[in-house]
C-alpha cells in the first residue's frame, strides 16, 4: 500500500500547511494511541527539539493520545536518539519526536520509534494511516490517558552516551568546539564531553525557538570552522537540530563528513578485531569510502538513502556499523538509531587508540570529488526521473566519464527536492555534468 502521510522518516512539512497543523497532529496522536492500545496498556514518550512550534504540537499530541486512552510521558527538548533510548528503558510502547531535524524553524514534523527504539515497521505506519482516515472517538472518562513529565531525562541520556566508551576514558588535554545548532543537543552534548574530561567551547547553544539550524550546525559548518581555527582547538563537532547527525572539523578547518566518520570508526573496530561483519552505506556514499574499506577487506553494501534503510540492512545482515554522508551514523553495538553524540565519541576513541589527530587519521581515505545539487520539485503529473530528456542527459554524462564516475538522481523523502549527484575522479568534469543535469531537470520541472 502507498502511504498518504508518512515519508521516509515520519511526517514532515511546513508549519500551518497540511498535514503539519494542530488539528491533524491531534488526530495523529489519537491514531497512534489507538494503534498501540490494541496491544493492551499503552505508554508513549513524547520529546521535541527547540523550534517554537514544538509547544503547540506537543499539546496536540498529548490531547490526542489521552483521548485514545494512552498514557503520555513528556521529555521536553531532547535529542532524537535520546528519545529512542528512553523509549526502550521505560518499556514504553512507542516514542514520538517532534522535529524537522536539519530543516529551518518554520518546518516541523513527527517521527516515531517502536518500543525497541527502532523506526516503526511499515505495517504499523499503515495501521496509523488507516486510523487517520477514520472518525475520531474518545474513550470513556475513566479510561483517558494520564500525562506525566520525566524530569531527569537529560541526565539519563548523558550517562547512556558516556557508557558507550570505557569508564576509564579521559579526554583531558583535548580542546573541542561544539556547535549544537541551537537545537536539541544544546544542554546534553556539552555535559557529555566535559564530564569525560575535554575542554569544551560551545556555539549554537542559545535556542530561542526561531534560530534552530540557522547558519549553524551540521548543515552550515562555516561558523564552526572559523571558531575552531580562532580558538586553536583540536577539532570541532557539529550537530543538527535534533542530534542524529554529526559532522566534524579538524584543527585546520577541513570538514570531515559522515563517510569519513564511518571510515574512522570502521578502521578502529577492524584493527581491534571488534568489527562485526561489514559497513552499510547508501547510494550517496562516496566511492572513496568503498575503496578504502575494500583495501582493508571490509565488506561494504549500499542501502537506499535514509537511516531507516541503513538500519534495516544492518539488521538483515547482523552487522553493526552503517550511515550516510550527511552524518547519520548508526553504531548498533551501542544504540538502535543514528546518534550524533555517540558517533563523535567513537571517533575520539579511534583517535586516542592511534595517537593521531583528526587531520592525520583522515588521510587513510581518499574521497572522490562529488557534487550534489538540489532542484525544487513541484510534483504534478511529470516525473522527472522518467522523463526522456533527463534519462538521456544521465546516459550521456555516465558515458562521458567512461567508468570513472557515476550519476545518481533521486527524490528527497522529506522535502520537495530532486537531488542530482555526480561523482568521479575529475572534479571539473563532475561539476560540469552536475550543473548540466540540474539544468535539464529544472526545465522538466518548470
Residues in the chain where the model's pLDDT stays below 50 = none
Residue 114, marked binder: no
Q: How far are the Cα atoms of 269, 278, 281, 296, 312 from residue 317, in angstroms, in the given order?
A: 17, 9, 13, 19, 9
Show the cell assigned to 223: 561558523
Radius of gyration of the CA atoms of the chain, in A: 22
Distances (CA, A) of 383 to 374, 386, 422, 436: 16, 6, 20, 18
Is the model's pTM score more than 0.85?
A: yes
Tell me: is residue 242 an annotated ligand-binding position. yes
On whether the CB atoms of residues 287 and 406 are closer than 8 A, the answer is yes
Residue 346's Cβ-side half-sphere holds a number of Cα atoms within 13 Å equal to 30
User: Measured in Å, how far apart are the chain's first and last C-alpha atoms?
Assistant: 30
Question: Per the annotation, does 250 bind a ligand?
Answer: no
CA distances from 335 to 55, 173, 329, 340, 394 (A): 28, 28, 11, 11, 39
400 is in an annotated binding site: no
The pLDDT of residue 299 is 97
**In the 8-state DSSP scheme, what is residue 119?**
B
The residues annotated with a catalytic role in the active site are: 101
Cα separation values, 388 from 133, 373, 383, 394, 445, Å: 37, 20, 10, 10, 13
Amino acid at each position: 500500500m502507498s502511504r498518504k502521510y508518512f515519508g521516509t522518516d515520519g511526517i514532515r512539512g511546513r508549519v500551518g500547511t497540511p498535514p503539519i497543523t494542530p488539528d491533524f497532529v491531534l488526530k495523529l496522536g489519537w491514531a497512534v494511541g489507538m494503534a498501540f492500545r490494541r496491544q493492551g496498556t499503552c505508554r508513549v514518550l513524547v520529546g521535541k527539539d527547540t523550534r517554537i512550534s514544538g509547544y503547540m504540537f506537543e499539546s496536540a499530541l498529548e490531547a490526542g493520545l489521552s483521548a485514545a486512552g494512552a498514557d503520555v510521558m513528556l521529555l521536553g527538548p531532547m535529542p532524537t536518539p535520546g528519545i529512542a533510548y528512553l523509549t526502550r528503558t521505560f518499556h514504553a510502547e512507542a516514542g514520538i519526536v517532534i522535529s524537522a531535524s536539519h530543516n529551518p524553524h518554520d518546518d516541523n514534523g513527527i517521527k516515531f520509534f517502536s518500543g525497541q527504539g527502532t523506526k516503526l515497521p511499515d505495517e504499523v505506519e499503515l495501521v496509523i494511516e488507516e486510523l487517520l482516515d477514520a472518525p475520531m472517538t474518545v474513550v470513556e472518562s475513566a479510561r483517558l490517558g494520564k500525562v506525566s513529565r520525566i524530569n531527569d531525562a537529560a541526565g539519563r541520556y548523558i550517562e547512556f552516551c558516556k557508557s558507550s566508551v570505557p569508564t576509564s576514558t579521559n579526554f583531558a588535554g583535548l580542546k573541542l568546539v561544539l556547535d549544537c545548532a541551537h537545537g536539541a543537543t544544546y544542554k546534553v552534548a556539552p555535559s557529555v564531553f566535559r564530564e569525560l574530561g575535554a575542554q569544551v567551547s560551545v556555539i549554537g547553544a542559545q535556542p530561542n525557538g526561531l534560530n534552530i539550524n540557522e547558519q549553524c550546525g551540521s548543515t552550515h559548518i562555516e561558523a564552526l570552522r572559523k571558531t575552531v581555527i580562532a580558538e586553536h582547538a583540536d577539532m570541532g563537532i557539529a550537530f543538527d537540530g535534533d542530534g542524529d547527525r554529526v559532522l566534524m572539523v579538524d584543527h585546520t578547518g577541513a570538514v570531515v563528513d559522515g563517510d569519513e566518520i564511518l571510515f574512522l570508526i570502521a578502521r578502529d573496530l577492524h584493527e581491534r578485531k571488534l568489527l562485526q561483519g561489514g559497513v552499510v552505506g547508501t547510494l550517496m556514499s562516496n566511492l572513496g569510502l568503498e575503496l578504502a574499506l575494500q583495501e582493508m577487506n571490509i565488506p561494504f553494501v549500499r542501502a537506499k538513502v535514509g537511516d531507516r534503510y541503513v538500519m534495516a540492512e544492518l539488521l538483515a545482515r547482523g552487522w553493526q556499523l552503517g550511515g550516510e554522508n550527511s552524518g547519520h551514523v548508526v553504531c548498533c553495538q551501542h544504540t538502535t538509531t543514528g546518534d550524533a553524540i555517540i558517533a563523535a565519541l567513537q571517533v575520539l576513541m579511534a583517535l586516542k587508540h592511534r595517537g593521531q589527530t583528526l587531520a592525520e587519521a583522515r588521510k587513510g581515505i581518499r574521497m572522490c570529488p562529488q557534487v550534489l545539487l538540489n532542484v525544487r520539485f513541484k510534483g504534478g503529473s511529470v516525473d522527472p526521473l522518467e522523463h526522456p530528456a533527463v534519462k538521456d542527459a544521465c546516459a550521456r554524462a555516465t558515458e562521458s566519464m567512461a567508468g570513472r564516475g557515476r550519476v545518481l538522481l533521486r527524490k528527497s523523502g522529506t522535502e520537495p527536492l530532486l537531488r542530482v549527484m555526480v561523482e568521479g575522479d575529475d572534479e571539473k568534469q563532475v561539476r560540469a555534468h552536475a550543473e548540466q543535469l540540474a539544468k535539464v531537470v529544472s526545465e522538466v520541472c518548470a
